[in-house]
Amino acid sequence: MSDDKDIGLKLYLATNFGNHCTIYIKDNFSLKGENAMARIGVVGSGGMGKQHIKYLINNKRVESLSVFDINSDSAKRVSEQFGIGLHDSVESMIDDESIDAIFIVTPPATHAELCKNALEAGKHVFLEKPLSSTLEDAQKIKELDKKHENQFVMIGFPERFNGPNVELKKLIDNGTLGTVRTIRTNLRLSLATYGKNISGWVSDRNQGGGVVVEASVHSWDLMQWIGGAHLARVFAEGHSEKKDGKIYDTEAAAVGILKNGIIVLNDCTFTLPKGSSFDKKIEVIGTKAYVSIDYHKQNFLVYSTTEFEIGDANYKGLYYPDLFWFSESFGAVKNEQDEFINCIENNSQPESNVECAYSALKATFAVTKSMDTQKAVEL
């Protein structure tokens, strides 16, 4: 059997964007310990739905787990594969009084209605990004979140829980980088590698949002989070394909400025050649130091004019240990789930919240508008 690192890499390559695959799991799912309390229903049994289930069944604070999908065959397979409960309708799951929280892992166009129903049923909600496929629906989710004060909505932005990014934010916040001048990110992948084509829902501007809304929203949230300010202005160019009256966004490159003066740049694409691995990086330039993170190679390099401290050691350059989104021990998806359960236990609000997600979504729609108009867009 492969070691954990190999499994983590295999899972990332095999399951991103929802294609079917075989996942190594424990033989049975059982209730966990005296302190178990979270009882969770997962709506959506595609790639990310299965990823969430994989970690939830191994979380000692999860008492019970069940799944629903409009594709009943898919939901049944996942239920049997992981040994978890199965619901025959989303209504039965949301109305189930034995469930505390709902994970919504479905296309963005479905988010507003599902979130509304879950909150009105008294459930906490974990909502995969992006917040929605339209700003109108996103505004509805904001209003619902404010209305239901006894529940919370956490948005799935795993970059906030990715080990290298957490360390990067610490370096920025403690002044190691000095004044941050520029943040540059990229997110490049091949839909063909994952058995998908450009005319699927992920690329559809009205369903998944295309590469800008569906994919680069990770980068825009990350840049605003570590940069400490919202986007003020952006200009973008991109490529789109039109087919059967629909628009499929496939590439984009954008340059903007945050409200605190930091320059931000992002490029994203769905069209790397088939067989290509993902390519994701971030660079931060400050007056005292420069940081470069290559998420594929798992390199974290810091070039500084002075020594800085991480843990018990001083560095002028740092190689960060192997950490994947889907690592079973330290992965960002597992970490964000832990934060979600912490919020349930402590009756607290998540940092990765609706307001942050709305801001990131606004940024992506500004990028799309700039692509269409070929003009800079003020936010």
Domains of the chain, by residue range, sit at 4-156, 159-324+354-378
- Among residues 222, 156, 220, the alpha carbon closest in space to that of 354 is found at 156
pLDDT for res 184 = 99
Listed residue (240, 236, 245, 252) closest to 198, CA to CA = 240
pLDDT grade for 28, boundaries at 50, 70 and 90: very low
pTM for this one? 0.84
* Alpha-carbon gap, residue 187 to 26, rounded angstroms: 32
Distance CA 87, CA 112 (A): 21
pLDDT tens, residue by residue, 337-349: 999 999 999 999 9
CA-based radius of gyration for the chain:
20
The DSSP call for residue 190 is B
Which pLDDT score is estimated for 309? 54
* Separation between Cα atoms, residue 92 and residue 373, nearest integer Å: 45
Asked if residue 311 has pLDDT above 60, the reply is no
pLDDT tens column, 110-136: 999 999 999 999 999 999 999 999 999
Cβ(118)–Cβ(85) under 8 Å?
no
Q: What's the pLDDT at 298?
A: 67
pLDDT category at 359 given cuts 50, 70, 90 is very high
Identify the CATH homologous superfamily for domain 159-324+354-378: Dihydrodipicolinate Reductase; domain 2 (3.30.360.10)
CA dist., res. 190 & res. 196, Å (int): 9
Fold of 4-156: Rossmann fold (3.40.50)
Q: What are 59-108's pLDDT values in tens digits?
A: 999 999 999 999 999 999 999 999 999 999 999 999 999 999 999 999 99
* Bridge partner residues of 377 (DSSP): 234
Structure tokens given for 321 = 């240990």
